A and B are shown apart, each in its own frame.
Chain A
Amino acid sequence: MVMSRTFLVGILLMVLTMGVFHIPDASCSEKEKGSEQSPDRMVTIAAEYPSIQMARGGEKININVYFRNMGKTDENLNVWLINNYKKWKASLTTFSFNITGVYIPSGKDKAVVFEAEADKDINPGKYEFPIKAQTTDGKFKLSEVIVIEVLKEKSELDKSRGIKLTSSYPEIQGTPDSTFKFAIDIDSTFVDDTPLDLSAQGPKDWNINFKPSYEDKYISSLRIKVNERRTINVEVKPPADAKAGSYPINVIINTPKSRLETPLTVILTGTYSLDVRTAGGLLSLDAKQGKTSNISFYVKNTGSAKNTNIKFMTFKPENWKIEFKPEKIDAIEPGELKQVEMSITPYEDALVGDYSVGVDVAGEKVTKNIELRTTVKASAAWGWIGIGIIVIVIAGLFGLFRRFGRR
């Protein structure tokens, strides 16, 4: 409709410019040419679509009405529309003003637009709109009738003529951190090019975008050609903190003549993610050979799904003992924090120095690793014993001095 309108405007502009600059020449030559074949005076009227169907509550109707002057003389016509219906607003227009008269140079066409809009509660049935025209001298009278048939329901029309939406995968499952891509095929059976407005209704904070297939840009409208099939991608990005569940998304496509909806469903399965850290974030500890050292760490479920059966596995040197309290975590809800007490016992003959002790926290579908720098220190107990021995020996020496000295 828009296309035809712009086309019309183009013609009109052309005619107008010709009218300004070339009318004398053109009219002369037309007159000379037409004088051989055409009758002296002849004007016709024709509607582009004399009979149309529309749904109740549908869009405004625009139909071109053509006047043609096949005579040798230029004609001035008075034009009027007969509207017998209260629930209809109808007029003949061009650009934005109403028309009551038309000037048609010899051999030229002139198009005006018949506009009609019905109230929403109009009764179904046939409505006739006669368009009358008369030359200013009253010698020629023209008449054309546009018949508009109002149908009961929208779907009645859609079935026969319009746009069909099909989605091969209306349900997609995934985690909240993924992007869901639906493909929707749009089949147009319109007889002319149609602009489509794309919109979608989804849960709050969800990001829904339309993309043409094989092109990386977001669109919000699309022009579909006659009998064309286009595929558009609907990209759905849930917010990161979305809970697991099923979410309906309604894709709405508005054409000038109709409104279509297609339901899509996103099923969020929830993410599995764990965070493991020690209290205070310190990843090192001191231990003594053969002595138990304790460190506690927290396991936090940072995913959106419940994580069950979390086990602890360790990477440790041979002969070391590592125990966890509790030995495993049965279940941890999203966002929940659980404390684990870990006790490390280095081997009795372990060398002094820094060791790496790794802890794998293995939950459902996710494993988190922390590495602890364990500094094994020599036990100071033997140092004290040594000092004791030296003290005893020196005491013995002084005993000797006392006993044998000063002779």
Chain B
Amino acid sequence: MQHLKTIIKKELSDHFSSYRFTIIFALIAMVSLIVAYMIGINVRKELEGVAKPQFIFLMLFTSSGNLFSLVQFVAFFGPLIGLLLGFDTINRERNEGTLSKLLSQPIYRDTVINAKFLAGVSVISIIMISIILVIIGLGLLVLGIVPGIEEIWRIFIYLVISIIYISFWLGISILFSILFRSTATSALAALAVWIFFSFFVAIGASAVADALVPDIKQDIKVAGSEADYLRSRIINQFSLISPMHLYTRATATIIDPTRKTTQTFIEIGRMESISIARFSGTLPLTQSILIVAPYIVSLIALTIICFALSYTIFMRQEIRSF
């Protein structure tokens, strides 16, 4: 345990002393300022004409502003933080020959990989907490509203999910840094995976849906809606292989209590819509969590499995430099 702490400290000082820290700091400042600025402009506009707005503070995270909301930003570019922190974890040390030196010390091998992963998670947590705190602070300034307890809880859960999500990508990049000797290769491989899951899956899903369900938009509207529903279901099922999709779904009802489902497209009957519109309200936090529980579970499981894979491979690997 003592060794674990030492290595984590060493890793953290590595992260914060390098240019990487400058990059990370720039990232935090940029993201927070851009998001806070865009939302500051837009939230007031969105609130105009709303009789009794609820959970305004959460709009800081969901309001899409001019380009994207924080949630969308983290979903798309959060992985990059994880990749950036992890793509050269093991293979850089290996190439510089420090890994065998390190392991010649009385340190267990698993302590090294555990500490590297935990150090990465710490940096991710620091980044996310800073971003969210800066946004909350700017939000207090712009909106002049103090968040309620439930809002704080929702933000906290969102934060935890985000950290897990980015940690997953950290795990992926550590896995690649173990698998590939060259840092460039592992960086490229990690980027390729990111691009595949973030962009290709989304495009691929609609391509598959288009192939399976004939496009009958020119036909009668009623038949069209049926087909639209089917398409949306196929896209949804197909997209589930993407961690980004899981993350978007998992945070959907947590950060936006007015949403009652994770689906983007739902079939709702006429009577049902009248019936549910009668008491239009927000979901309680426990219900929001229960709805997205499968997605959160999948994310946590994926992250742990990914790390376990890196761990197993690292533990069984030949570590002598050639």
Known: A351-B261, A352-B261. A315 touches B275 (CB 8 A): yes
User: Taking the nearest CB of chain A, how far is it from the CB of B23, in angstroms?
Assistant: 31
- Measured between beta carbons, the chain A residues less than 8 angstroms from B108 are 405-407
> Which residue among B275, B279, B291 has the maximum number of chain A CB atoms within 10 Å of its CB?
B275
- A383–B311 Cα distance when bound, in Å, is 28
- Measured between beta carbons, the chain A residues less than 8 angstroms from B300 are 390, 393
Size class of B's contact patch? Answer: 35 or more
Establish whether residues B294 and A378, one from each chain, have CB atoms under 8 Å apart when the complex forms. no
- A383–B295 Cα distance when bound, in Å, is 10
- A396–B305 Cα distance when bound, in Å, is 9
Known: A319-B269, A404-B315. A352 touches B304 (CB 8 A): no
- A347–B307 Cα distance when bound, in Å, is 39
Establish whether residues B261 and A318, one from each chain, have CB atoms under 8 Å apart when the complex forms. no
Establish whether residues B279 and A386, one from each chain, have CB atoms under 8 Å apart when the complex forms. no
- Measured between beta carbons, the chain A residues less than 8 angstroms from B301 are 389-390, 393
Report B111-132 CB contacts with A as 1/0, cut-off 8 Å. 0000000000000000000000
Known: A390-B297, A406-B108. A318 touches B271 (CB 8 A): yes
Report A80-123 CB contacts with B as 1/0, cut-off 8 Å. 00000000000000000000000000000000000000000000
Report A382-407 CB contacts with B as 1/0, cut-off 8 Å. 11001101100110110011001111
User: Taking the nearest CB of chain A, how far is it from the CB of B253, in angstroms?
Assistant: 9
Size class of A's contact patch? Answer: 35 or more
- Measured between beta carbons, the chain B residues less than 8 angstroms from A389 are 297, 301
Does B290 make an interface contact (CB < 8 A)? yes
Does A174 make an interface contact (CB < 8 A)? no
Known: A353-B260, A390-B297, A404-B315. A317 touches B271 (CB 8 A): yes
User: Taking the nearest CB of chain A, how far is it from the CB of B270, in angstroms?
Assistant: 8
- A54–B20 Cα distance when bound, in Å, is 131
Name the interface residues of A330-361: CB closer than 8 Å to any CB of B. Answer: 347, 350-357
User: Taking the nearest CB of chain B, how far is it from the CB of A400, in angstroms?
Assistant: 5
- A401–B311 Cα distance when bound, in Å, is 8
- Measured between beta carbons, the chain B residues less than 8 angstroms from A353 are 260, 276, 279, 281, 283
- A378–B293 Cα distance when bound, in Å, is 10
The residue from B276, B289, B297, B305 contacting A351, defined by CB atoms under 8 A apart: B276
Name the interface residues of B160-182: CB closer than 8 Å to any CB of A. Answer: none
Chain B residue at minimum C-beta to C-beta distance from A371: B278
- A136–B294 Cα distance when bound, in Å, is 132
Does B109 make an interface contact (CB < 8 A)? yes
Establish whether residues A318 and B110, one from each chain, have CB atoms under 8 Å apart when the complex forms. no
Establish whether residues B291 and A386, one from each chain, have CB atoms under 8 Å apart when the complex forms. no
Chain B residue at minimum C-beta to C-beta distance from A404: B315
Establish whether residues A356 and B275, one from each chain, have CB atoms under 8 Å apart when the complex forms. yes
Name the interface residues of A99-151: CB closer than 8 Å to any CB of B. Answer: none
Establish whether residues B275 and A382, one from each chain, have CB atoms under 8 Å apart when the complex forms. no
Establish whether residues A400 and B290, one from each chain, have CB atoms under 8 Å apart when the complex forms. no
User: Taking the nearest CB of chain A, how far is it from the CB of B192, in angstroms?
Assistant: 26
Establish whether residues B279 and A356, one from each chain, have CB atoms under 8 Å apart when the complex forms. yes
Does B52 make an interface contact (CB < 8 A)? no
- Measured between beta carbons, the chain B residues less than 8 angstroms from A317 are 269, 271-272, 275-276
Establish whether residues A352 and B271, one from each chain, have CB atoms under 8 Å apart when the complex forms. no
The residue from A315, A357, A386 contacting B296, defined by CB atoms under 8 A apart: A386
- A377–B311 Cα distance when bound, in Å, is 40
- A354–B279 Cα distance when bound, in Å, is 6
The residue from A350, A355, A377, A378 contacting B278, defined by CB atoms under 8 A apart: A355
- A377–B283 Cα distance when bound, in Å, is 10
Does A373 make an interface contact (CB < 8 A)? yes
The residue from A380, A386, A400 contacting B311, defined by CB atoms under 8 A apart: A400
Establish whether residues B275 and A316, one from each chain, have CB atoms under 8 Å apart when the complex forms. yes
Known: A352-B291, A400-B311. A406 touches B110 (CB 8 A): yes
Establish whether residues B275 and A386, one from each chain, have CB atoms under 8 Å apart when the complex forms. no
User: Taking the nearest CB of chain A, how far is it from the CB of B304, in angstroms?
Assistant: 5
Establish whether residues A400 and B312, one from each chain, have CB atoms under 8 Å apart when the complex forms. yes
Establish whether residues B296 and A355, one from each chain, have CB atoms under 8 Å apart when the complex forms. no
User: Taking the nearest CB of chain B, how far is it from the CB of A158, in angstroms?
Assistant: 70
- A383–B261 Cα distance when bound, in Å, is 16
Does B266 make an interface contact (CB < 8 A)? yes
Does B221 make an interface contact (CB < 8 A)? no
- A352–B289 Cα distance when bound, in Å, is 11
Establish whether residues A380 and B290, one from each chain, have CB atoms under 8 Å apart when the complex forms. yes
Chain A to chain B contacts (Cβ below 8 Å), 25 pairs: A315-B271, A316-B275, A318-B271, A347-B272, A352-B290, A353-B279, A353-B281, A355-B272, A355-B279, A356-B275, A357-B275, A377-B290, A378-B290, A378-B291, A379-B290, A383-B290, A390-B297, A390-B301, A393-B304, A397-B307, A400-B308, A400-B312, A404-B312, A406-B108, A407-B108
Chain A residues at the B interface, C-beta cutoff of 8 Å: 315-319, 347, 350-357, 371, 373, 377-380, 382-383, 386-387, 389-390, 393-394, 396-397, 400-401, 404-407
